[in-house]
Chains A and B, each alone.
Chain A
């Protein structure tokens, strides 16, 4: 399941952090930032901007690639006063959230803040995603169907 990290564990911890931040709601980022890192000093390296990513598919699912169509995305890069550079990027249009995701991605690299980012930000997102995925799977499982082939009358 793409939204449950467990199914495809990402070997790069930074990529795993980004994957969770990309799926966060605005509150899931802004509330912990306000409560635990008020007055944080950072510089904007790349101001949050909205653009497009061309999504590619593959012929037959696993063949040569083709351009399926575009999606909106937002990205931002910030740098903390202590030098860590954070990247925020996700599907959709939300500059404020992209900057918050970048700040938290930078904080997750800072030794002193890593545990707090995990506890106050990443763990709640991970839990919500797991619950959502579980609920959807359970609803889908209830529609599992067994068709029976009837014997055709010969004649």
Chain B
């Protein structure tokens, strides 16, 4: 247990001044601007927005600068900042089918309407360090190709659904409130809306490890990437006094539709099942991991035996949040003097008792 301490103000103030100095580094090296972080470390920005659960590129870049690149510390700063702002309301649910596609791939179909576009990806690079980047210089401008403006990119899962070979998504139940774990503490069993909200802001490393575990046999999903798409989606907001939906602009999202092995019965024809991942920004690894874990957490609903960590919703949802996790782990470094003194006293007493017993009943100690 942690017992409050006082004192140390000057040392704390000086330590904070020192960490600012260290953050700046060698003052002969130009200072990093938040615009540079926003533009050139954009995937770090995307991760901080996702796990900070706040879409604002400028704020995420500032947090990364302030946190000296410690992304969990940056996420902490974003989570703290969001509590200072009022919530104006909810968006109309985002329509990812209407995404302005910048990347779209499928591992289930080679040829699909709209085709596959790789977009800006590290896939198929050789992962060789590019020493030319150590020097400054602009890369070649991107190649362009003619565009068919009539082309649409239907969801791959909608194509599979046309033949009724995949389960339907749970329909919207009008009037049913949507769970919000920023307002109500998480309780178990948790519905899928709360699970998805939890996973959407969960730690990428934790989701990746759990998703990986399902592939290695701890709660087998038999997954295929039906589709990954990344691009811009419009955000609409209801203005009730005008009776209209105002467009607020766009956000970049990554969506992963994982298609998994079958569910059927003696009376129901077998169908593919789904796992779903959605993330702010271009966060493909997290969207994929989220979709694997979402599917694993549907074990009860799909009548599967829960045998593995990734299928245990209490375990997964209680440990996915890296701000809660780091808070509890890191609090161990705060002064625990009183607690430790109590344990020391207990230990000494136990030893004293043993010594007393040994001296009064020497035969008992043999």
Contacts and interface: CB of A to CB of B under 8 A. Distances in A.
B142 interface: yes
B82 A139 contact: no
Nearest to A7: B98
A58 B89 contact: no
Interface residues of A, number: 61
B343 interface: no
A137 B147 CA distance: 7
A110 interface: no
Given A1-B100, A69-B49, A137-B149, 14 more contacts: A2-B233, A3-B100, A52-B86, A55-B94, A61-B96, A61-B155, A64-B171, A67-B181, A70-B87, A89-B237, A92-B249, A139-B143, A145-B117, A147-B110
Interface of A: 1-3, 7-8, 10, 12, 14-15, 18-19, 22-23, 49-73, 75, 87, 89-93, 133-147, 149
- Most central of A2, A49, A64, A87 by chain B CB within 10 Å: A2
Contacts of A49: 86
Interface string B30-70: 00000000000000000001100111101100000000000
A53 B56 contact: no
B95 to A, nearest CB: 8
Q: Interface range on chain B: under 10, 10 to 19, 20 to 34, or 35 or more?
A: 35 or more
B162 interface: no
B109 to A, nearest CB: 10
Contacts of B235: 53, 55, 71, 91
B179 A66 contact: yes
Interface in B160-187: 168-173, 176, 178-182
Nearest to B195: A66
A67 B250 contact: no
B193 interface: yes
30 contacts: A2-B100, A2-B233, A2-B250, A15-B244, A51-B88, A52-B86, A54-B89, A54-B90, A56-B91, A56-B178, A60-B157, A64-B169, A64-B176, A65-B172, A66-B192, A66-B193, A69-B50, A69-B200, A69-B280, A75-B88, A89-B237, A91-B249, A91-B251, A139-B142, A140-B102, A141-B145, A141-B147, A142-B145, A143-B103, A144-B118
B119 interface: yes
A137 B145 CA distance: 8
Nearest to A72: B56
A147 B169 CA distance: 30
Contact of B172 (A19, A63, A141): A63
Contacts of B172: 58, 63-65
A49 B201 CA distance: 26
B85 A51 contact: yes
B1 to A, nearest CB: 34
A60 B94 CA distance: 12
Contacts of A90: 248-249
Contact of A8 (B85, B98, B149): B98
Contacts of B50: 69
A22 B93 CA distance: 19
Interface of B: 49-50, 53-56, 58-59, 82, 85-94, 96-103, 105, 110, 115-119, 142-147, 149, 155, 157-158, 168-173, 176, 178-182, 192-194, 196-197, 200-201, 232-235, 237, 239, 242, 244-251, 255, 257, 274, 276, 278, 280
Nearest to A56: B93
A62 B255 CA distance: 12
B276 A60 contact: yes
A54 B180 CA distance: 10
Contacts of B105: 145
Contact of A141 (B146, B237, B280): B146
A7 B171 CA distance: 26
Contacts of A2: 98-100, 232-234, 247, 250
